[in-house]
């Protein structure tokens, strides 16, 4: 039983060693975890199995432009947040435009001209797209007032259908008393 346990541990250890990348293993004679044992790849070299990025996500101008575009393949994500193939291509195009010295507005206009206003995460507030901004704000402001008016009018109508108010009942009782008094006096 011990032999089976030792063999299984050895197989797991060998499997782990085979899967560990060479750059993550400590060189001979160095202490693992000292910080000097693993070299960070520079901007011109990529890790094994990883593509070289052609854009700089740390650039604030790049981030501002890339977050304005929607990812065509992902739902609810910007190009900046997505790693889908089409988003990577758009990020590369944004970086190329920045390298050419184009401004934020020029890059946005380039993509809107190429893909249409659909590529923007927020519709522009002009033309027909202005309705996408006006209608929700109007409904938020006028909606509660309209609901209150509709409910108030229905409540007034419901009170008059088969339900008598206390003043109407008291008036009826007084009329009945007057009629009874008048019939007693006649008799």
pLDDT tens digits along 90-126? 999 999 999 999 999 999 999 999 988 888 888 777 7
Question: For residue 69, what are the β-bridge partners?
Answer: 120
| Statement: residue 36 has pLDDT above 60 | no
Q: What is the pLDDT of residue 108?
A: 92
Of the candidates 135, 129, 99, which has an alpha carbon nearest to the alpha carbon of residue 112?
A: 129
- Residue pair 78/121 in contact (Cβ under 8 Å)? The answer is yes
- Residue pair 71/115 in contact (Cβ under 8 Å)? The answer is no
DSSP H/E element including 98: helix 85-99
Compute the distance between CA of residue 22 and CA of residue 45 in angstroms, rounded to an integer: 15
SS3 126: coil
Query: Which of the pair, 7 or 177, is modelled with greater confidence?
Result: 177
Q: What is the CA radius of gyration of the chain?
A: 38
User: pLDDT band at residue 32, thresholds of 50, 70 and 90?
Assistant: very low
Spatial neighbors of 31 by CB under 8 A, at least 6 apart, are 37
Spatial neighbors of 166 by CB under 8 A, at least 6 apart, are none
Is the model's pTM score more than 0.85? Answer: no
């Amino acid at each position: 039983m011990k032999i089976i346990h030792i063999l299984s541990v050895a197989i797991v250890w060998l499997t782990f060693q085979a899967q560990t990348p060479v750059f993550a293993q400590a060189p001979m004679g160095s202490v693992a975890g000292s910080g000097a044992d693993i070299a960070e790849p520079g901007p011109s070299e990529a890790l094994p199995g990883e593509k070289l990025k052609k854009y700089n996500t740390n650039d604030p101008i790049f981030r501002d432009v890339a977050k304005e575009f929607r990812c065509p393949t992902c739902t609810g994500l910007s190009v900046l947040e997505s790693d889908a193939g089409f988003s990577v291509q758009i990020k590369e195009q944004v970086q190329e435009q920045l390298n050419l010295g184009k401004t934020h507005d020029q890059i946005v206009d380039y993509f809107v001209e190429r893909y249409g206003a659909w590529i923007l995460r927020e519709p522009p507030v002009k033309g027909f797209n202005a309705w996408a901004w006006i209608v929700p704000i109007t409904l938020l402001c006028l909606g509660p007032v309209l609901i209150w008016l509709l409910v108030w009018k229905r409540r007034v109508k419901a009170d008059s259908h088969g339900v008598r108010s206390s003043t109407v009942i008291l008036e009826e009782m007084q009329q009945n008393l007057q009629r009874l008094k008048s019939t007693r006096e006649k008799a």
